[in-house]
Amino acid sequence: MKTHAKKQMTVICEVPVMHRITRVLDKVPVTGYTIFPALSGRGSEGTWDRDRIIGDAGRMVMIVSVMSVEQADIAIDRIYEALEPQMGIITIADVDVLRPERF
């Protein structure tokens, strides 16, 4: 079966920043993205658990989107600008997809 090279961008950020990130993705535009709640984790400032957080500040989500190389090049700079003053992680990975027309 033939596969097609794409980029997968994953952004982990606080809920209040989430809409800034999705606005960037919408403007690129990418075909879509999925947002997952982040339940707990550990980072440079120690461990955290979603159950101990009241309100949206401090709650984390993971936004995943598959896109072309060109879209990733545009999105990464814009997302970095939106995320830079906040807590967050951006990763980009090479992925292969079976249905390139979906991305």
Amino acid 55: pLDDT:
54
Closest CA to 94 of 78, 63, 72: 72
Hey, where are the domains in the chain? 4-102
Residue 54 confidence (pLDDT):
57
Tens digit of pLDDT at every position of the chain (103 positions): 999 999 999 999 999 999 999 999 999 999 999 999 988 888 777 787 766 655 556 689 999 999 999 999 999 999 999 888 777 899 999 999 999 888 8
4-14: strand order across its sheet: 34-38, 60-67, 4-14, 88-97
Given a contact cutoff of 8 angstroms between Cβ atoms, the answer to whether 58 and 81 are in contact is no
Architecture of domain 4-102: 2-Layer Sandwich (3.30)
| Distance, CA of 96 to CA of 81 (rounded, Å) | 28
